[in-house]
Amino acid sequence: MRNTEGLSPYFAILQVNPGWGMGGFSLRLVTVLSEVESKWVRSLATVALCCTAFACSSAQAPVVQPQTAAQPSPSLVDFDRLEARRISASTAYKASTYVPLDDSWIYPSFDRLAAMGYLPTSTAVLRPWTRLECARLLAEAHDTVDLSDSVAATLLAALDVEFRDETAVIDGGHNASARSDEAYARIVAIGGTPIRDGFHFASTIVDDFGRPFGQGANSYSGLAAHAQWGPLAIYGRAEYQYASAMPPYSTSTQQYLNAFDVAPYGWNLRFGTTSRLRPVEAYASVAFGSWQLSFGQQSLWWGPDRSTSLILSNNAEALPMFRIARSKPMILPSIFRKAGPTHLEAFFARQGGIHYIGLGTFVNGGSIYTTYGSSTKALNPPPYLWGLAFTIKPSEYLEMGFSHTVIFAGYGRPLTLSTFFHTFSVNGNGQELDPGKRVTEFNFAYHPPLLRKSLVLYTSAMAWDDPVQGKFVGRYAFSPGIYVPRLPKAPKLDLRLEAAYTDLPKLPIQGYFYNNLRYPQGYTNYGQLLGSWVGPQGIGGEASSTWWFSPKTHATINFRKMVSDTGYFQGGHRSDTGVKFAWTPTATMELSGGLQFGSWNFPVVAPATKSDVTTTIQLRVFPQPHRRD
C-alpha cells in the first residue's frame, strides 16, 4: 500500500459546503482587507514572520490513509489519530531539490490534476516545489483519482515514472542519490528588430531567467545535476550563453531616457554581444523537520497565474538568497486548524547589477534625493530584498494567499537589525528615512460550483507602499485568470486566459508599481523586472491553448499583448503570436521548439512599427539516474 501524507480527511471534517457561499466569503474578505488600516496589514506580515519559528515546534504535518469513494469520512478523533501517526509516512529530515520553474511538463501536469480536483492540498501560488513534495502530491492524486478518468490516469502514469525514486523515499527508502539531470542546447534566431527593455518599454522574450538575446543567432548550452543524502541536498545548473548584439537606441532616444528616467541612461541595457558562463540556479539545502533551508541562487514564482506574475517571476536572473520553506503543508494548532493546509516560506536576497541609489530624505511632504553611483561599478553594499508568503486552504476548492516583499538597506543605509525592523514601520512612507520599497499582494484560486473538476478562477491583487490606503480598486494592480484543464469534446485540449493590469489612474508617479526614488533601478535584478512583463504602467494579457498528445509531448498556440500608458515614456504596445511544441521520442531525450511573430511600436524608440520573428529549437538529454540504496 502506498503511504501518503495527504490531508483529504481534513476537508471531510470541516464539512465544507461546496455552494456559492465560499465564493461570497472570499469576496467579502477582499472587501474587508481594503477597509482596514495599513498598519494591520504590515502587522500581519510581522506576525506571520514570527509564526515561522513557532510553527517549527508546534505545527503538526497531517497524514491520511488511502480511501475509496465508498468509505465514510473520518471523524475528528480519527483525524487526530492520523496526525499523531504522521511519522509512519514522514519525509521529515529528508532534503530534496526543487523542480525547475521552466520544466516543460511536470508543473503543467500537476496544474491539470489540480484543476480536475485531484490535488486537494496542493498550492497554486508558491513555486518551485521539492521533488519529495511532488511525490507526496502524486500519492495524494492516486488516492483521490476517479479510476475511469483516462486523462488523469495517463498523467499519473508519467509522473509515477518521473518520481519513482522520491516515491521510494516516501515509502521508507533511503534518501541517497546522485544524478545528472540533463544536458541541453538551445538555439534562438531572431530576425527583424527585437526589443529588450522591459522596464521602459517591452521585451521580445520574457520569463526566461533574464537570459541575454540579440538580433541574429543566440545560443545557450548547459548542464544540470543534483545530489542528496539524508537531510542534505545540492543542485546546480550552469550554462554557456552567447547573445548577438541588439540594435542600439538612437541619440534622441538616449537623450529622452536620460532626461526623464531617474537613473542615468543605459543602466538596464546591453547592446553588445554577450559570451559568458553563467549559473542559472545553484543552491544547497538542509532539511529539519518538515522545513527546508536553502542557500544559493534560486528563482521563485509567487502567484496563481502561469503567463506572468506581478510580484515574483523568473523574468529576471535568479537571486542569491537564503530561503526557508515548508517542504509540505502543515495544519496549524488549535482554532487555526480551520485555515486548512498551510504553506509558508520566506527569503532574504541581494539585488544584482545595481549601480545607482538615491541619497537624501523625505522632508515636508516631498523627497529630496540625489542619484549616486557609477555606470562602471556596482554599488557596495547593494540593496537587499526580503519576502514572506503563505497560503491557506480552508476548502479543497478555495486557496487564499498573502505575500510581501521589501527592497531595503544598501549604500548609504547599512544592513542592520534596526534597518530591517524599520521595514515594518506603520508610519507610512513619508518618513525622513525611507523604510524601503514595500509591496503587498493578495491572491486566491477558486473552483466554482458545478464546475469543480472543469474550471479554476484565480487572481492576484498587488499594492505598492500603501496596500490598503484609499479605494481598493484604485490602489491595486490586478492579474486575473481562468484555466480549463480539458475542453468539452476535446479532453486533450486545455485553455488558459490571463490578464495583467498596472495602469491605474492617478498614480502618484509614472511607473509607480516597479519604481522608487530611493531605489531608482526599481524592482529589477541585473536590469530585468522581477515581476510582470506587462511593465510598470501597462495593461496586457495572454491566451494560450495546449493539445496534449501525451504528458511529455504537446503543442501550444498563444497570443500575448501589452499596452503601455502614454504617460509612461510616451507609451506604446507590443503583441506576439506563437506556436511551440515539445516532443519526447525516447525516455532520455526531448526535442522542443517554437516560432513567434511579434510587432511593437514605442514612439520614443522608433516612430514606425517594428517587427521581429523568433525561431527556437532545443535538445535536452536526460541521462539515466545512478541511485545508491
Does 252 reside within a domain? yes
Q: Which domain holds residue 563?
A: 176-627
Residue 513 C-alpha cell reads as 508599481
Instruction: Report the CATH number at residue 354.
Output: 2.40.160.130
Q: Are the C-beta atoms of 29 and 400 separated by less than 8 Å? A: yes
Residue 232 has pLDDT above 60, yes or no: yes
Give me the DSSP letters along 553-611. Answer: -EEEEEEEEEEE-TTTTT-EEEEEEEEEEEEEEETTEEEEEEEEEEEEE-TTT-SS-EE
Segment 229-248 mean pLDDT: 97
Kindly state the cell numbers that stand for 309: 506574475
- Within-domain flag for 45: no
What mean pLDDT do residues 51-59 have?
34
Q: Is residue 521 part of a domain?
A: yes
The answer to the question of residue 596 being in a domain is yes
What does the DSSP 8-state code read for residue 122?
-
What's 31-69 look like in SS3? HHHHHCCHHHHHHHHHHHHHHHHHHHHHCECCCCCCCCC
Euclidean distance between the first and the last CA atom of the chain, given in angstroms as a whole number: 21
In a domain, 17, yes or no: no
Please check whether residue 171 lies inside any domain of the structure: no
Per-residue pLDDT at 460 exceeds 50: yes
- 418/420 Cα distance (integer angstroms): 5
The answer to whether residues 79 and 71 touch, using CB atoms and an 8 Å cutoff, is no
Report the range of poorest mean pLDDT among 140-144, 348-352, 432-436, 491-495: 432-436
Rg (CA), the chain: 24
Number of independent structural domains in the chain: 1
What whole-number distance in Å separates Cα of residue 562 and Cα of residue 280?
27
Share of the chain above pLDDT 70, in %: 81
Cα 464 to its chain centre, rounded Å, is 18
Task: Give the tens place of pLDDT for each residue, 153-193.
Answer: 999 999 999 999 999 999 889 999 998 999 999 999 999 99
Judge whether 163 lies within some domain: no
Q: What is the pLDDT of residues 286-344, one digit of tens each?
A: 999 899 999 999 999 999 999 999 999 999 999 999 999 999 999 999 899 999 999 99
pLDDT level of residue 515 (50, 70, 90 thresholds): confident
Domain assignment of residue 131, yes or no: no
Whole-model pTM: value is 0.85
Region class of 209: left (phi > 0), else alpha (psi between -120 and 50), else beta: left
The conformational region for residue 117 under phi > 0 = left, psi -120 to 50 = alpha, else beta, is left
Reported as a single tens digit per residue, the pLDDT across 581-616 is: 999 999 899 999 999 999 999 999 999 999 999 999
Mean pLDDT on 213-238 = 97
Judge whether 476 and 462 are in contact, CB under 8 Å. yes
Position 625 pLDDT exceeds 80: no
Q: How confident is the prediction for the chain on average, in pLDDT?
A: 84
Q: Is the pLDDT of residue 628 over 50?
A: no
According to the model, what pLDDT value does residue 424 have?
A: 87
User: Using an 8 Å Cβ cutoff, are 261 and 249 in contact?
Assistant: no
